[in-house]
Structure 1
């Protein structure tokens, strides 16, 4: 076989493998501990820890230290704006600002290199699914409002917030606790798990003083949160991604600072905002026994 043809075949096989793996990148199933699985696991696995809130100094609460960074897609100031906007009344989480947070986080991941950004399209698919469900709900409500025989006021929009979506889908019977269904609730759970992974990663990037690489910090967060939800093949692919992570200087540039010391207070503010979103979502999923949807 000519060398050029052989290279094309190899490249096609690698691309096909990556496409297959990317379909599994976000956590898909219930937790399966290493000792209960017939598949080999990554060597260092520990159950997800309870993350204690980090105290943000009073002088940093004005967020004056977070600046716009010209010439780049990801803006930490925009991420923080969406995070704060997602904090709804009565400890709820508003869905549209939550999805906007994810769109900004996608830009962050894509800025870390093509191997990391390659998997973000699965996040985009999940954002699209929830928005499509929201549009379908709006269409139903508009049809009901225009019905001349309507006798009752239509209920509030089901996809306005995390709480309203979970409750509405439960009442409508579209959430299955036994099989995979394209529900907003199941989709949210996958995003919720990945948000904790990013929370731990950003926290480590802001506080690590040992000079560990971004790949090491990303791997530690992955092992703690997502590895337990992934089959062995995806775990191996994740290892390749971590080894290809860029230098820490790329992260400093993304958050528009020059030194690790400057990055720490910025990350304290951002991580605290992410933690609030995650804790609220965790509570809503937990009280409805949705933390292990297949």
Structure 2
């Protein structure tokens, strides 16, 4: 872009140089005025481009192995060939940051508990804490999710520890209690003057859960031609998150997902010396359990008419 801007300004200068004299003096001055204006446009654009380059370089140097879009595509293809040629995934070079098996077990426990359709709060939050470890293991690409959900899980834990904690034992009991006592603000978002309700807080986790269960399912089935960046992009736009994010956040997420590692790296960061078949099977079961929990929660939000809390 900088090259084309320089060439365009050079052409403008040559056009000015070829303008005749005498009666065309006014045109000459006007031409230089336009050239000056073009410089005023070009210089800020070049500065912004330079800042973007510096920012990208800093992100790449500070994060876990992240690639550009082109590198990601190439490494995805290479990673898929390696996965196909070996049954066992080598995890010796990097200790897994979390356990996909533990996360799958926690969501299964939540989905199959005696109060599964009411969704037990403690089981739900335990599963989310393992999911947060998953997000953290992926580096800065998932900051747009992890930075918010950590806070939300903490708020819900505080509700459970409070004097009213018994009213937050299940999601259904929480919604019933908060509606009955008029604790949900339907007009204003939480602030210093407006306290966040448990129902509103959990709704943000609920939307993020849909995004992540779709992504994990895609990883398990190796969809979208094995391109993790495309999986992330499609999962985000298939989830409720994108609907409630402002335009600028949606565009930022579109850039962030292209910093996701290739599928082989993704798999390595999730495994505990499992075979490829075991990893993919566990991810698939985990995604299905997450979906069951999501559907139970969705039904409760619909029942209490709380899906559109600001």
**What band does the TM-score fall into relative to the shorter chain?**
0.5 to 0.7
Q: 1:118 to 1:194 in 2, by over 3 A?
A: closer
Q: Cα distance 1:132–1:209, how it changes in 2: closer, same or farther (>3 A)?
A: closer
Say whether 1:103 aligns with 2:119: no
Distance 1:176 1:246, change over 3 A: same
- What is the rounded CA distance, in whole Å, between the counterparts of 1:292 and 1:117 in structure 2? 24
Per the alignment, residue 206 of structure 2 pairs with 192
Question: Is 1:238 matched up with 2:260?
Answer: no
TM-score by length of 2: 0.63
Matched, 1:254 2:269: yes
Structure with the bigger RCO (C-alpha within 8 Å, sep 6+) is 1
Contact in 1 for aligned 2:100/2:283 (Cα 8 Å): no
Deviation of residue 209 (structure 1)? 4.9
Whole-angstrom CA distance in 1 between matches of 2:280 and 2:141: 26
The counterpart of 1:133, out of the listed 135, 140, 159, is 159
Asked if the contact 1:113–1:246 (Cα under 8 Å) also holds between the matched residues in 2, the reply is no
Aligned counterpart in structure 2 of residue 285 of structure 1, from 284, 296, 301: 301
Contact 2:103–2:131 (Cα < 8 Å) also in 1: yes
Runs of 4+ displaced beyond 6 Å: none
Q: How many angstroms apart in 2 are the aligned matches of 1:127 and 1:185?
A: 12
**Counterpart of 2:103?**
79
Gaps of 5+ in 2: 1-46, 60-90, 191-195
Whose helix fraction is larger, Structure 1's or Structure 2's?
2
1:263 to 1:211, Cα distance in 2 relative to 1, 3 A: farther
Task: Structure 1: state its 5+ residue gaps.
Answer: 1-5, 19-67, 142-156
State the partner residue of 1:223: 237
User: Which is higher, the Rg of structure 1 or of structure 2?
Assistant: 2
* From 265, 272, 276, the counterpart of 2:288: 272
Q: Give the whole-Å Cα distance in 1 for the aligned partners of 2:173 and 2:249.
A: 33
Q: Structure 1 210/117 Cα, relative in aligned 2: closer, same or farther at 3 Å?
A: closer
Query: Number of matched residues?
Result: 218
Q: Which range moves more in the overlay, 107-116 or 275-284? A: 107-116
Q: Do the aligned residues in 2 keep the contact of 1:92 with 1:163 (CA within 8 Å)?
A: yes
Counterpart of 1:176 in 2: which secondary structure? coil
Q: CA RMSD in A?
A: 2.9
CA contact (8 A) 1:214 1:248 kept: yes
Q: Mark the CA change 1:244 to 1:288 in structure 2 (over 3 Å): closer, same or farther.
A: same
Per-residue CA deviation, residues 50-69 of structure 1 (Å, 9 max, x unaligned), is xxxxxxxxxxxxxxxxxx99
Match of 2:5 in 1: none
How far does residue 166 in structure 1 lie from its aligned partner after superposition? 0.8
Structure 1 residues 158-198: Cα deviation after superposition (integer angstroms, max 9, x where no partner): 11111111111111111122222400000111100110110
After superposition, where does 1:17-56 map in structure 2 within 5 Å? Answer: none
- The answer as to whether partners of 2:101 and 2:282 remain within 8 angstroms in 1 is no
Report if aligned partners of 2:96, 2:268 keep a CA contact under 8 Å in 1.
Answer: no
Does the 8 Å contact 1:137/1:158 carry over to 2? Answer: no
Question: How high is the TM-score relative to the length of structure 1?
Answer: 0.66
